[in-house]
Structure 1
Amino acid sequence: MRLKTSIWVAAYLRRCQGEGVFGAVRRRGAEEAGAVFVKVALLDGKAILYVPAPQTAYDDSRPAERIFVPTSPEPVPEQSVEERLKKEIRFDPDVWIVETEDREGRHFLDLARA
């Protein structure tokens, strides 16, 4: 059974806060099962966007995990990330957008799997 998105987001933000990384919900989506997009702002005009991984990335033995992948291997201008997020909102108005700020680009998504 998968954790409600609202609970997962709250736990993720608490994890970030515990590491000294500022994070906030920019857009609340569907409480139960909205997709989550995580923007990591590097505070230099660039950012990295993490999106839900394609279904093929999931392990059948752990279907309740949330797996994220970056949209590009390197940071991109923040404006590019914002344009992508606008497209995602038009496609699915139930998405969540979480933004963190960290010069090192830490995201902690590899630690937040449930």
Structure 2
Amino acid sequence: MATDARLATHVWVGAWLTRARLAGLPVYVTAHGHDEGGAVIVKCATLDGRATAWHRSWDLMSGTRAWVIFAEGDEREVDAALARARSRDPDLWLLEIEDRQGRSLLDEPGLSD
């Protein structure tokens, strides 16, 4: 019998939230998606009116999943893009981190893959 080795979304979200809190960064779950298989978008607000949001996508060259930019620019425009995405996919998780340096923690071991 085959089993799915993918990590449940809520487990990954919990790890990301914990890692951010340990780094002293404010983090929020702005939309709670499907616990087991919801997609995730992470938004980083740099507190200067700008933001970047990333989502997981397949890297066709390597055959692996990677975090790629979903939207970036004026924070209001990024928020509007996130609202449209959430309206199309109610299982979508929307996470937000605030960091003047623009750190998302998505490149850290255990969170990047």
The TM-score range, normalised by the shorter chain, is 0.7 to 0.9
- Verify: 1:77 aligned to 2:77, yes or no: no
Give, in whole Å, the separation in 2 of the partners of 1:93 and 1:56: 26
CA deviations over 1:17-65 (Å, ceiling 9, x no partner):
11111111111000101000001000111101111223636636xxxxx
CA deviations over 1:87-113 (Å, ceiling 9, x no partner):
111221100000000000001101113
Q: CA deviation at 1:67?
A: 2.6
What is the aligned residue count?
A: 107
- Verify: 1:102 aligned to 2:106, yes or no: no
1:48 is matched with which residue: 44, 48, 52? 52
Asked whether the 8 Å contact 1:50–1:69 carries over to 2, the reply is yes
Identity of aligned residues (%): 36
Please identify runs of 4+ aligned residues in structure 1 that moved more than 2 A: 54-60
Asked whether the 8 Å contact 2:59–2:66 carries over to 1, the reply is no
| Helix, strand or coil at the partner of 1:67 | strand
**TM-score normalized by structure 2?**
0.85
| Helix, strand or coil at the partner of 1:53 | strand
**TM-score normalized by structure 1?**
0.84
Give, in whole Å, the separation in 2 of the partners of 1:34 and 1:88: 13
Structure 1, unmatched stretches of 5+, are: 61-65
Change (3 A) 1:58 1:100: farther
Q: Say what the alpha-carbon RMSD is for the aligned residues.
A: 1.8
Larger strand proportion of the pair = 2
Asked whether the 8 Å contact 2:67–2:112 carries over to 1, the reply is no
Asked whether the 8 Å contact 1:28–1:96 carries over to 2, the reply is yes
Higher relative contact order (CA 8 A, sep 6+): 1
